[in-house]
């Protein structure tokens, strides 16, 4: 494997994964053109609530992709199919549960974030519409993760581009054409998620190859479920740490006023675009490591680690330089409110520093998940959360929103440094497993 092969996976996966924050980014950008900053604040709070809900179960995509890649590497059609069926049922149940308990979710979320009353009202409108898309959003995670694990990159990209183009068009029609404001933004996202799910089902029907000896009961035997749930448990804890940081960040930012909340929302959306760019590289690394594990190809594994580090550093320079040079144009994509623009520029330096602090944690996360080795991911995030809490406690009272962004950067750097400490251990474990048949058969991989 070389740079060309790695990038042939990483670039389309980057485009594909960046479509995830684009749903929130488009929503923020459309309402950012309206006159009242409470609109953008309401969508920001609503988006945080859904990010919280969906990120908690983001393992549905990550683990599905990893298990599918390993099954593909081993050329095991039965396990490839099982890697889709197991998380599919889990996603459907969780999504329906979200709809049933939607009122408690909204009340607890608004109470925790504590936005101003007008912002809360818009956030409630946004939430009340988008919540009906919860099952479809989670099932889309599974569908896209499975397609990525099978290296159907162009197909997964097409589904996500389809969803986002529809969302953009409907947002513009509902908000600018029908003047539905926040409700129009939420309705556009809901329709887009449902449409993407239906398209994904059609694609899967064409892609699935059912073995003659297939029995759905085999997918739910105790050993298989335990293996999946152990990995998902650790990724779930990792996600709780991530959500805790973003919720604390948003809640503290809300105490500085509506304009600061709106400026932070704009910068966080820009951060999402950067983070999901790295996530594209992480997905490429995850697929390649998964295939290396499944096919017992130690050279592919080592080359993937090298290319992951190299292109992570290159991407950091590109992203930081791009924002530094074009920050005016980027911010104007999200809002034209003078006060919000001024504050976004004031705190924009933290976005320039973000890629360098975060790229190891974000990209090597894919390496570990591709090997279905989630304990180091969990532990590194717990330690990074502690770093965030310590720095926030020490700096926010004296430095306000700058202290809050410093704490966020400490978290990003922490997740990189703490995860990097586990890389030698992972290398040793993979090397042993690939050279021992008996260990390979019984390992957590």
Handedness of CA 339, 342, 344, 347 (dihedral sign): negative
In angstroms, the CA 228 to CA 223 distance is: 9
Tokens 């623009």 sit on residue:
341
Per-residue b/e over 87-105, b at no fewer than 16 CB within 10 Å?
Answer: bbebbeebbeebeeebeeb
Which among 74, 145, 77 is positioned nearest to 291, based on CA atoms? 74
Alpha-carbon distance 14 to 24, whole Å?
17
pLDDT of amino acid 440: 42
The per-residue pLDDT for 5 is 85
What pLDDT does residue 438 have? Answer: 42
Here the tokens at position 304 are: 């993937």
Q: Where exactly are the structural domains of the chain? A: 3-442
- What per-residue confidence (pLDDT) applies to 214? 64
Determine contact, residues 205/346, Cβ cutoff 8 Å. Answer: no
d(CA 245, CA 225) in angstroms, rounded, equals 30
Angle of CA points 339, 262, 251, to nearest 5°: 135
pLDDT digits (tens, 9 = 90+) for 219-270: 666 666 777 788 888 988 998 898 889 888 988 888 888 888 889 988 988 8
Residue 444 pLDDT: 41
Nearest 5°: the CA angle 159, 283, 362 is: 125
Mean pLDDT by 10 residues, the chain (445 residues): 83 73 68 76 84 80 85 79 86 95 93 85 93 95 89 87 89 88 90 95 81 65 72 87 87 86 88 87 90 87 93 95 92 86 91 95 92 92 96 92 95 96 92 64 41
In the chain, the N- to C-terminal Cα span, in Å, equals 22
pTM recorded for the entire structure: 0.77
Cα–Cα dist 23/308, whole Å: 27
The dihedral formed by the CA atoms of 424, 427, 431 and 433, expressed in degrees to the nearest 10: 110
């Amino acid at each position: 494997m070389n740079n060309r092969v790695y990038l042939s996976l990483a670039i389309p996966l980057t485009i594909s994964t960046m479509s995830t924050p684009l749903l929130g980014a488009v929503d923020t950008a459309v309402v950012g053109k309206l006159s009242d900053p409470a609109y953008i604040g309401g969508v920001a709070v609503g988006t945080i609530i859904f990010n919280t809900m969906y990120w908690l179960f983001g393992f549905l995509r990550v683990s599905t992709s990893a298990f599918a890649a390993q099954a593909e590497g081993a050329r095991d059609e039965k396990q490839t199919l099982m890697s889709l069926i197991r998380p599919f049922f889990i996603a459907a149940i969780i999504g329906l549960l979200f709809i049933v308990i939607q009122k408690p979710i909204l009340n607890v979320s608004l109470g925790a974030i504590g936005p101003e009353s007008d912002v809360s009202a818009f956030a409630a409108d946004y939430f009340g519409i988008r919540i009906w898309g919860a099952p479809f959003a989670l099932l889309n995670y599974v569908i896209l993760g499975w397609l990525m694990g099978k290296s159907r990159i162009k197909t997964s990209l097409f589904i996500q581009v389809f969803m986002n183009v529809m969302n953009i068009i409907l947002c513009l029609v509902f908000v600018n054409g029908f003047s539905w404001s926040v409700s129009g933004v939420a309705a556009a996202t809901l329709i887009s998620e449902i449409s993407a799910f239906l398209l994904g089902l059609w694609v899967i029907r064409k892609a699935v190859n059912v073995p003659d000896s297939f029995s759905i009961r085999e997918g739910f035997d105790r050993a298989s479920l335990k293996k999946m749930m152990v990995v998902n448990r650790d990724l779930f804890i990792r996600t709780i740490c991530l959500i805790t940081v973003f919720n604390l960040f948003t809640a503290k930012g809300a105490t500085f006023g509506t304009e600061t909340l709106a400026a932070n929302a704009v910068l966080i959306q820009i951060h999402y675009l950067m983070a999901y760019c790295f996530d594209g590289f992480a997905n490429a690394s995850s697929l390649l490591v998964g295939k290396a594990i499944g096919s017992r190809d130690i050279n592919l594994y080592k080359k993937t680690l090298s290319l992951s580090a190299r292109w992570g550093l290159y991407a950091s320079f590109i992203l930081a330089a791009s924002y530094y040079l074009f920050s005016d144009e980027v911010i104007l994509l999200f809002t034209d409110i003078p006060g919000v623009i001024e504050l976004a520029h004031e705190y924009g330096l933290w976005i320039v520093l973000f890629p360098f602090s975060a790229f190891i944690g974000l990209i090597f996360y894919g390496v570990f998940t591709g090997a279905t080795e989630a304990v180091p991911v969990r532990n590194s995030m717990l330690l990074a959360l502690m770093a965030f809490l310590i720095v926030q406690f020490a700096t926010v009272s004296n430095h306000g929103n700058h202290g809050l962004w410093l704490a966020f950067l400490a978290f990003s750097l922490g997740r990189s440094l703490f995860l990097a400490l586990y890389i030698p251990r992972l290398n040793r474990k993979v090397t042993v497993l690939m050279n021992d048949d008996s260990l390979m058969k019984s390992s957590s991989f």
